[in-house]
Amino acid sequence: MTTPAPTNVLDVTVVDSNRAPWDLFVVPQTGAEIPSKALVSDPDTGMQVFKMRYPAGFVNKWHTHSHAHGMYVLDGVLHTHQGDHGPGSFVWFPEGGWMEHGATEHGDVTFLFITNKPFDIAYEEDAVHPYPPHLT
Q: pLDDT band for position 136 (50/70/90)?
A: low
Give the pLDDT of residue 102.
96
CB-based contact 80:62 (threshold 8 Å): no
Give the pLDDT of residue 98.
95
| Beta pairing partners, 24 | 35
Average pLDDT, the chain: 93
Q: What is the pLDDT of residues 22-43, one digit of tens each?
A: 999 998 888 889 999 999 999 9
* CA 104 – CA 49 distance, rounded (Å): 23
Domain boundaries, the chain: 32-123
Q: What is the pLDDT of residues 78-123, one digit of tens each?
A: 999 999 999 999 999 999 899 999 999 999 999 999 999 999 999 9
Q: pLDDT band for position 64 (50/70/90)?
A: very high
What CATH architecture is 32-123?
A: Sandwich (2.60)
Residue 80: φ, ψ to 5°: -130, 170
